Chains A and B, each alone.
Chain A
């Protein structure tokens, strides 16, 4: 429940719940691109049927994590270490060929910009039937029938007629719907969406998000959604992982983390959100540090108003605290300040 702080017993319950029905288990995932440490010991668990939001500023590693999950970032381009278990299968080091069997079938993808993600030279029908024929082995006619159902289910009017349309003949919202129908074509167990609505109007954004949630819930799939809007994240995600400079700094139930943030970075992000009644915004000072010249201790050190000398020297680890995991040395001080408010 929103507002309630969970007891240690509940924390154990959450932890057990996650381990019993785990779809994805990421452990100490580290990704380096040359000198830059783009992801640093990222550990996450995603249970079946849960929706996880990844939030943070540009350069936090949200999209990189999403791309690594689907094998679009691999050696030798980047150095990848740690482990990503997908239903017990290790994804780190998996060959491109094996990944290709997962992508589009077990794992569906929705990219940020539908305009550039759909192929301008092929019709909508050709693009939707491709995964159906390739992964499910449907005949051309069967695949076309299924494509009509899919387009219909994502709210595209006059679906049959749209099969012969090219992407440029559709609006941005309609293109995004087409991409969602492609992502969902083979009923994936995991859906990965990278800012699926950031180019759309709020009205269409709400429709698309509702559509994604409805479809994910109907099939019992899990989803990892990269978002930059914190309020939207609270609305659509069960859990959230707040990322900063390649690390997870706070993760747990979305409402809890975003509304009663403990990490100074989450608190800072939250105070940047404009609402109808915002009196004064308090922007986070400074910018994300360069990923090739990171401090030894806490990566948020230079922008943190709670920082201690210790923070500069030693890196905080994620620890359980009030129903979520958070990496910060100064939690007691923040907690005291919070209590005195």
Chain B
């Protein structure tokens, strides 16, 4: 069953006016089509400035799309009434990039985790404490953490509390923005295993923003690669990473550090400004395989015949036919 359905979502911000009085627009999202079904684990990958976080803000209802329609379980998100809106916020949890910054520094861990339970009336006040303890155990923290403040926790612990808080409202969907970035590999591995176990055990739907392709492949069955506000390729993660169809995906995988390959700066320069989008294909200014036609035509995301992958490229990279 479809949980999220995004139809040609656009989001732009007005950042000023030109000399002739026209609006100067920053196009953060430029026609995103995405369907997420119950139990899916989806990674959104791409460089900073590709629109990943904006997309997630729209999915959480924190902002409204400028154009396009966004459905949550067949109802348009902006049309949810008060009651449905509250159910939505219980069902869909968010894990912020900056875990420590997302917690009230004056609240103790026990209260941080208990608040969603009380807010959504999931249990009586007397039951909060044992439920919070059980939750802590689930994320691998001891009960002794209950009375700590966020500032008294290590980087890894604070992320675990963030995961626990996301679980406190008994959600069906977890949306996470770079929640394992900047950690030591040892702590990151623990957290990745925790997230993976939770998703499988509880059958959660996961939308995971990351710039780490390894993390994407470990947690998510499907991946959407974003570039300048568009999805340029999507499909099953392992297939997409090992046999990319879009030159941008290939550039990301080539740049990803590996023991088996030498260092390869596959892309030159940086992502262009979303205020002045390139003509034609948005990747044409940096694409190593660019051809003349690419500078004139913006390719739509089209299904790749033969498998369940889609790519937005006039000249997709070849992969052996019939091999999945």
- Listed in ascending order, the chain A residues whose CB lies under 8 Å from chain B are 57-58, 157, 171-174, 198, 201-207, 209-210, 213, 228-232, 234-236, 255, 258-259, 268-269, 271-278, 281-284, 287
Contact = CB atoms under 8 A, between A and B. Distances in A.
B263 interface: yes
A281 B267 CA distance: 30
B48 interface: yes
A326 B214 CA distance: 29
Contacts of A283: 186-187, 189-190, 193
Interface string B38-53: 0000000001100000
Contacts of A282: 189
A203 B252 contact: yes
A293 B319 CA distance: 56
B12 interface: no
Given A203-B266, A203-B267, A274 B189 contact: yes
B188 A272 contact: yes
Contacts, number: 121
A225 to B, nearest CB: 12
Interface in B256-271: 256-259, 261-270
Sorted nearest first, the 4 A-B pairs with minimum C-beta distance are A274-B214, A231-B257, A283-B189, A232-B257
10 contacts: A157-B269, A201-B48, A202-B212, A202-B255, A202-B257, A205-B255, A269-B185, A274-B218, A278-B214, A281-B193
B256 A202 contact: yes
A340 B218 CA distance: 29
B285 interface: no
B89 interface: no
Contacts of B269: 157
A232 B156 CA distance: 22
Interface in B238-295: 238, 241-242, 251-259, 261-270
A236 B193 contact: no
Contacts of B267: 203, 206-207
Given A202-B252, A273-B214, A284 B263 contact: no
Contacts of A172: 48
Contact of A274 (B155, B212, B252, B262): B212
A249 B185 CA distance: 17
A93 B189 CA distance: 41
B184 interface: yes
Nearest to B214: A274
Contacts of B242: 276
B261 to A, nearest CB: 8
Nearest to B191: A283
Given A206-B264, A277-B238, A272 B189 contact: yes
A316 B262 CA distance: 34
B154 interface: yes
B215 to A, nearest CB: 6
Contacts of A230: 185, 259
A172 B48 CA distance: 10
B39 to A, nearest CB: 21
Contacts of A276: 213-214, 217, 238, 241-242, 253, 256
B263 A287 contact: no
B265 A206 contact: yes
Nearest to A211: B265
Contacts of B266: 203, 206
A6 B268 CA distance: 38
B47 A274 contact: no
Contact of A173 (B189, B264, B270): B270
B192 interface: yes
Contacts of B322: none
A153 B231 CA distance: 34
Nearest to A235: B263
B154 A259 contact: no
A92 to B, nearest CB: 29
Contacts of B190: 283
Contact of A207 (B48, B211, B214, B265): B265
Nearest to A208: B265
- Pick the most buried of A173, A206, A276, A284: most chain B CB atoms within 10 A of its CB: A276
